[in-house]
Amino acid sequence: MKIAALVSGGVDSSVTVHLLKEEGLDPHLFYIKIGLEDEPGFVSCPSEEDIEIVTFLAHKYGLKLDIVSLQEEYWERVVDYTIQSVKNGLTPNPDVMCNKLIKFGSFDDKYGKDFEFISTGHYADVEREGGSLFLKTCKDKRKDQTYFLGQIDRHQLSKLRFPLAGLLKPEVRKIAVDAALPSATRPDSQGICFLGKINYSSFIKRYVGEKEGKIVELETGKILGTHRGFWFHTIGQRKGTGLSGGPWIVVKKNIPENVIYVSNGYDPLPVYRQDIYLTHFQFITDNPLGDDIFLQGEISFKIRHTPEFTRGFLSLEGGLVKIHSETSVHGVAPGQFGVIYDKEGNRCLGSGMISEENNA
């Protein structure tokens, strides 16, 4: 079996290499450079340490290692998407798009096409049932990363292997310790993948700029202060407004007027919603639940990366996919992704981008 293993220097991808070797496989290791090391403000870049670790893995297990750059593709496809989304008042999700467009997109186009499978350290699973193929949640529900994989397509899924699917995070750490892997005690990476150690606000300030606007209390219309630009704020945000006497929650944005509206909890309706509308919805594989899924089909879903699922119903309304949640949901942010699962939360079915339409 010809298999490519994407390695990052972290404990998860390192352990996948160990597990693949235990299966008798010899994966070809690939370290993808997508970080913006030349970006002003990028400090303490971990790439040198990453490369030392993946080089150690290659020597330890006698494997080939290629360090490849997809920085240009990343800038054109993911960073530009992020900047444009912010300018349009949306809340982007670069991690979702990185998986779809770079790790399993550009990488496969350039290198992965020569391999039968691509292995990663994601906490997810692939289920093959007869001629059907499904993205499944993994054993460790707290670490499950299917939310970030909700935009991949059938071809991409068909090539993926997730060796960590049946393991809990502590078990992964123990394997790394027992195998004397240098990443065994390395902290998990945090934050948006392309930013690395870049401060997000500084990055947005450079590429979008600043423009002073009003902070208005939704219920009273009272001007409470000013902000540096609506693009620095997202719906549901509880910190960062600089206002005292909070918590002040960002509940609405007026994009043309550069105004953000906040609430101190007088009326939860602007913050909590039951109806969520998705645009550009796609199933990962063929619709596994049949056409009835759009006739009040019962599902579970997530609108952000959390261990918990919310139950709801799926339907079509006005050309958009509509989720009607059983309970009110906090912080519905246009631009983020609504990811749909079967009602048990076992299979990830697909996703769409949360729309501004019908969310006012």
Tokens 């719906």 correspond to what residue?
235
The pair phi, psi for residue 87, each rounded to 5°, is -60, -30
Residue 98 annotated among the catalytic residues of the structure: yes
Q: Kindly state the tokens that stand for 106.
A: 């550009």
Residue 45 is among the residues annotated as catalytic for this protein: no
Nearest CA to 303 out of 280, 333, 344 is that of: 333
DSSP 86-144: HHTT----HHHHHIIIIIIIIHHHHTGGGSSEEE---S-EEEEETTEEEEE--S-TTT-
Amino acid in the structure at residue 97:
M
Q: Is the dihedral of CA 235, 238, 239, 240 positive or negative?
A: positive
Burial bucket for residue 150 (CB in 10 Å: 0-12, 13-18, 19+): buried
Residue of 45, 98, 138, 348 with catalytic role: 98
| Active-site residue identified among 45, 138, 193, 348 | 193
The β-bridge relationship of strands 132-136 and 160-161 is unpaired
Q: Beta-carbon neighbour count of residue 305 at 10 Å?
A: 16
CB 65 within 8 A of CB 19: no
CA distance 225 to 242: 8
- Catalytic residue numbers read 98, 193
